Each structure stands twice: as structure tokens, then as C-alpha cells.
Amino acid sequence: MGLRNAYLSMIRAMPGGWDAMAAALGMSKAGLENRVYERKEQRMHVETALAMQALSGTRRLAEAIAQESGGVFVPLPEIATSGREELFDKQQELLSELGDLFGRFREFTVDGELDARESVRLQRLTDEVHRGLQEFMAIALQLYKRHHIAGEDGR
């Protein structure tokens, strides 16, 4: 995606586009354009980019940074009140995704190699498994992590 594309995407996602985003950030449209396109020795500050992400209601900045870092952005799930049931559901979903990944791997490698399409498909499935694992752990930690009690020494 790239950072500039993330900025442009967040601006497009903002109702009112460039003018509305610039006004919400307290700058002129020209000032915002200078930062996005790095004109007149101006650059986008991290705080401004984070504000753009919040104003646009997207996760484009986080996704772009993760991608440029060789990773994938995994948003943490919000926990419903029926947390243990949600954890069990997530566990079953994760096991299913793992089974799908291994089944596809077996299917794709029966000829002794992976073509480009097969590699892309396996990478997508792997990314889904990683997301599922992160979501599972986020739910599990929120449900079962011991919380510090005032006066407790932490042992």
C-alpha cells in the first residue's frame, strides 16, 4: 500500500475529502497537500497521520506500516459479554483454518512444487491463521489474566 497511498486513502474516506480533513487537522488544504506529497520540505508527522486515521475511521496507516515492515496488521477484537463462549468459538474457527491451510498445502504440493497462485493462496491462509491466533490470545488474556489487586505484591 505505501504510506502516501494510505494518506490518500484516509483523505478519501473522510466525508468532505481534502477540505474537511485539512480543516479537522487545523491546516489549509495546501498545507495538507504539501505534507502528503512532501513538497516545500514538509513531511507528514506521525501524530498528524494518526489523527488522519482516527478522523477517517480507517486502519490504513496501521496496515501500511505493518506491510512496509513485512507484517500484517491484526486488530484486536472487542470482547463480548459471553467471553468464554466467544473463546471456544474462536478456538474452533482457528482449528478449522489450520485444517484448511494444511489440506491446501497437501493438495498444492502433490506435484512436488508450488506455483505462484498456490503460494499466494497459502500465504493468505497463513495470514488468516496468524490473525486468528492473535484474536484467540487477546480474548484469552482478557478473560483469564490475573489482575493486580491493591496491596498485592505481584507474586
pLDDT tens-digit readout, 16-46: 999 999 999 999 999 999 999 999 999 999 9
More confident residue, 101 or 90: 101
pLDDT at 155 over 50: no
The residue among 20, 18, 45, 47 whose CA lies nearest residue 33 is 18
Query: For residue 117, what are the CA distances in angstroms to 13, 23, 128?
Result: 31, 44, 17
**CA–CA dist 9, 52 (Å, integer):** 10
pLDDT of residue 106: 95
Q: What is the mean pLDDT of residues 100-104?
A: 94
Domain boundaries, the chain: 3-68, 83-144
**CA–CA dist 63, 6 (Å, integer):** 8
pLDDT at 115 over 80: yes
